[in-house]
Structure 1
């Protein structure tokens, strides 16, 4: 029985389900879930992340974490990543930080997909790596962590304002088709503060699992020190319908083939800040962050090496990757970033208090 048939049967018994339950099933079902069954990254997959675009992304963020470690006095620590994909980002971080004296932490990866764990194991061969199912399993120690395009894949609930109530988006079924619908509007305590900055018809999305995950990360940083860099597409304060599906690098109907497309929603960076138990930087754009970390000189240095090798195609690809990471028309402003760090410590490089 397909995942779609299973969901239709479940809806027939229990009634329409929330978007959060639908996303959870589509992405992480042990037999049919999108992340449980494939490598979704790269030109042959469904999307390309910043680490897969250029080594510069991981190098600069790795050195950012290493500098934060130095600013806090060094010492033993944990280096962690949430949703590490193919392991490309962590491999770039480890290569870039190899020359930082004393910075040789064990690596801890939070990854739910058995298929991706196998790929990460091959990518990071030779590194001391421990895998975890959840953030709560990370060691309670000084934590230097990165989460790139992790929070956008967490399940959301979606609400549309009607008067002083909120109608929740639900997934129902008509025959052998899945359909989106809405409940009758009711008050929602978690959205009472949004009555001040929204009007009739406005859509607001909540990510129920975001606050506890941020609480786990920031609690460790508050107790033991460290820093967390969170980079994702989104903005300050959720507003609008951002639920989407992606297949073969193109938008598609999220109800058409459950488990066969990536499902995401924009990250609410205000929710990240509100849930943090330690200091949180001001939100910045990915382009501004990378420029602050020196991507311009790094891109120039790499370009000169490629130019010396007279490989015009590789040089063109490198320059295109630089533009993709930083320009407003590409990932430069769509993607935002915040840093978590201890009270009394300076924010990591590239971030402002």
Structure 2
């Protein structure tokens, strides 16, 4: 049994069941035993590999997008380029190298920032970026960013923000809670709280008993902050995550441990817990601020930005094994049966 599981069981025994949102928050961010506060989750030695770790091409093409978005916005001279939830800093490292080559003047006049709440990960990021030609700044909160035109990117951020779940019962939709069963083990239960009918998707009425609907107020709140900043000061946003295009009923809560799926309640604090992102909901928030949204798949996005051309440049004159490794990375990032279709890309602009 994990130490966090012991702690959660004691807390629930004393104070009663907790929401799925509270469970996710504790699993990921508990100061003593939380997943992100105690371990290195990224890369081959961690529990999962993110796209920037698959290949430098991912971060390079994000850099191309940022530079193009900056030019499309009128090339403001006091811009801030920020990554929120930057992991090990790999994406920012590849982005900085790319924009410095594309336009050294842009790299010199632009402020680059990483938004990271974990002091431990900040140190990892600083080590990753130690030899970059441009030195970024670190902020622990989005609202602390300098007030300037903003070009912000995130990769696999929204999936880790807590969600609320509601389960359909004989008496209607009830909030799904984590409590203790008769043996004193963690288990899911239907609580007393219900959900506003106006929030339910179209397929909720015909959903069977036991069906689950997910709402993500924490994700909506962050997108609301970002969209408000873009509306006021200008800029653009790019958000990449695995998820779905239309709001619908479905249980997507999942845990990953050692690169394989794990029972969500089995190893709190030792497994990454996420859920699929509802891009329909995020787009509605952005559009409510008058912003323009474009949603596509990661595969289409990267191919349109020149993934194949960049792969050809990297492989030119290299050994057969290196070329094969590059081809494998292209497949991993863009193939429909790998990351290409499951991962979506939401671009938000002010025009």
1:42 matched to which residue of 2?
43
| Aligned equivalent of 1:294, options 302, 306, 320 | 306
In the alignment, structure 1 residue 99 sits paired with structure 2 residue 101? yes
Aligned ranges 1:120-199 → 2 under 5 Å: 120-125=125-130, 126=132, 127-162=134-169, 165-174=172-181, 175-183=183-191, 187-189=194-196, 191-194=197-200, 196-198=202-204, 199=206
Counterpart secondary structure, 1:283: strand
**Matched residues in 1 for 2:199 and 2:119: separation?**
40
Determine if contact 2:241/2:344 at 8 Å carries over to the other structure. yes
Counterpart-to-counterpart distance in 2, 1:192 and 1:208: 14
Is residue 345 of structure 2 the alignment partner of residue 309 of structure 1? no
Q: Is the 8 Å Cα contact of residues 252 and 276 (structure 2) preserved in structure 1? A: yes
Query: What's the C-alpha RMSD, in Å, of the aligned pairs?
Result: 1.8
Counterpart-to-counterpart distance in 2, 1:41 and 1:179: 28
TM-score (norm. length: structure 1): 0.91
Distance 1:249 1:280 in 2: 36
> CA–CA distance in 2 between the matches of 1:195 and 1:270?
11
Question: Which segments of 5 or more consecutive residues in structure 2 lack a partner in the other structure?
Answer: none
Partner of 1:80: 82
Cα distance in structure 2, aligned partners of 1:144 and 1:294? 20
Aligned pairs, how many? 337
- 2:4 is aligned to 3
Q: Is the 8 A contact 1:81 1:109 kept in 2?
A: yes
From the superposition, tell whether residues 73 and 282 of structure 1 become closer, same or farther in structure 2 (CA, over 3 Å): closer
Whole-Å separation in 1 of the counterparts to 2:263 and 2:194: 30
**1:195 Cα deviation (Å)?**
5.4
CA deviation vs aligned residue, 1:188-210 (integer Å, no higher than 9, x gap): 12x42425332233322111211
Deviation at 1:139, TM superposition (A): 2.1
- Inter-CA distance 231–164: structure 2 relative to 1 (3 Å threshold): farther
Distance 1:128 1:227 in 2: 22
Q: Which has the larger share of helix?
A: 2
TM-score (norm 2): 0.91
